[in-house]
Amino acid sequence: MLRIDRLTFDAYGRRFLDDASVLIPDGAKVGLVGRKGAGKSTLFRLILGELSPSAGEIVLPRSGRVHVVAQEHAASPQPLLAAVLAADVERARLLAELDTAPPERLGEIHARLADIGADSAPSRAAVILTGLGFRHADLGRPLAEFSGGWRMRVALAAALFAEPDLLLLDEPTNYLDIEGALWLEAKLKRYPRTCIVISHDRELLNNAVDATVHLHDGKLDLYAGGYDAFERQRAERMRLQGAAREKQEAERARLQAFVDRFRAKASKAAQAQSRVKRLEKMAPVAAVLERNVAPIRLPSPERPLPPPLMRLDGVSVGYDGQPILRKLNLRLDPDDRIGLLGVNGRASRPSPSCSRAR
Ligand SMILES: Nc1ncnc2c1ncn2[C@@H]1O[C@H](COP(=O)(O)OP(=O)(O)O)[C@@H](O)[C@H]1O
Ligand SMILES: [Mg+2]
């Protein structure tokens, strides 16, 4: 269980968390949502102990194995598969120990290696890497040969392979293509331990998580279900809160009117006094703070262009005289909505495909 208890955190001249509490049961898959800049990544750094709270505490799952994926793997000469295998520190330590251990210890080491499925580790790591879009031929290539986006996938693969008790993922689908995102969704759903994922990917949040934590105004609110369930429950909560507040305002006005009218009258003084007490005791219902986002306006052109907007006819494009895409045919018309699909960084292999919807 991850317990966040009355956590307050101030930094950079503002309050990120304000007496916030939440309990996350073992094995839960949780989506962490909130506005950009609300402090979601900051909360991860607090959980990791990289930042210290101003007040309150964070109690980690018992074994305390926490792993965050927020940064790409370093561009080292290490081969991909080895980098992922190294994330299972116990296996790496036992294997290293085999070289130097005294003979009487060897049986114990082999038994433990068998317990943790060390033999199947390379194939498990390979399944994860290929699920995230690497080819088998890539697995022996050094990390340094891959771009930042691909090394981010290696970091994600390493975390999934290590299976920490608490896995923290910060916007993992940002650097995945559709196939990678779908694979991750299925993988998270089956993840055997606790996972918190920060994401703006509604599909991921609807399909892979069973609870949602909303960070807003420094508080952490836990909702059952994925993103759509969260939105429904939140709308209902806000409606009830708004109604309760209106009711309370009316009651307050009624009591105040009585007090104002009868305070000076000796016969009614006791009753007025008791209403003053009731007024003082009323706990305010929090105002509903739904700050709307300003709409984005895209101006229409003064004079619409005649179709087609653009036509490609057997076009090749590339860099430094090297074509990357060849024989492209495409026509763009004013009402087109075009999705452009393709594997990341692999434009030289299959040509991207366009689907057209109207
Ligand atoms: N080094 C820093 N100096 C000043 N402000 C910072 C710094 N790091 C983070 N912040 C503040 O924290 C906010 C981002 O918090 P973050 O936890 O990344 O939000 P989220 O992940 O919810 O988008 C930024 O908007 C910024 O105001
Ligand atoms: Mg962030």
Of 243 and 286, the structure prediction assigns the larger pLDDT to 243
- Nearest CA to 70 among 170, 177, 188? 170
Of 42, 47, 51, 217, which is best to mutate to test ligand 1, by the most ligand atoms within 8 angstroms of its C-beta? 42
Q: Judge whether 154 and 80 are in contact, CB under 8 Å.
A: yes
Of 281 and 355, the structure prediction assigns the larger pLDDT to 281
Q: What is the whole-number distance in angstroms between the Cα of residue 116 and the centre of ligand 1?
A: 39
Structure confidence at residue 349 as a pLDDT band (50, 70, 90): very low
The pLDDT score that the predictor gives to residue 210 is: 94
Closest ligand 1 atom to Cα of 45:
17
Task: Give the mean model confidence (pLDDT) for residues 314-328.
Answer: 89
Query: How far, in Å, CA of 2 to CA of 291, rounded?
Result: 30
Q: Which two tokens stand for residue 27?
A: 């094995």
Q: What is the whole-number distance in angstroms between the Cα of residue 215 and the centre of ligand 1?
A: 14
Q: What is the rounded average pLDDT for all residues in the chain? A: 87
Q: Ligand nearest 32 Cα, by number?
A: 1
What residue ranges do the domains of the chain occupy? 2-91+122-230, 231-281, 308-358
The pLDDT score that the predictor gives to residue 313 is: 94
Model-level pTM? 0.75
Using a 10 angstrom Cβ sphere, with 0-12 exposed, 13-18 middle and 19 or more buried, the burial of residue 224 is exposed
Lowest mean pLDDT across 43-47, 63-67, 202-206: 63-67
Of 49 and 70, the structure prediction assigns the larger pLDDT to 49
Q: Ligand nearest 15 Cα, by number?
A: 1
Lowest mean pLDDT across 109-113, 140-144, 307-311, 352-356: 352-356
pLDDT in tens, 253-265: 998 888 888 877 7
Of 77 and 65, the structure prediction assigns the larger pLDDT to 77
Of 7, 9, 10, 12, which is best to mutate to test ligand 1, by the most ligand atoms within 8 angstroms of its C-beta? 12
Query: How far, in Å, CA of 171 to CA of 32, rounded?
Result: 10
Q: Which fold has domain 2-91+122-230?
A: Rossmann fold (3.40.50)
Q: Which two tokens stand for residue 265?
A: 């009258």
In order of 163, 166, 170, 173, 269, the CA distances from 200 in angstroms are 23, 20, 10, 9, 58
Residues 6+ apart with CB under 8 A from 324: 317, 318, 347, 348
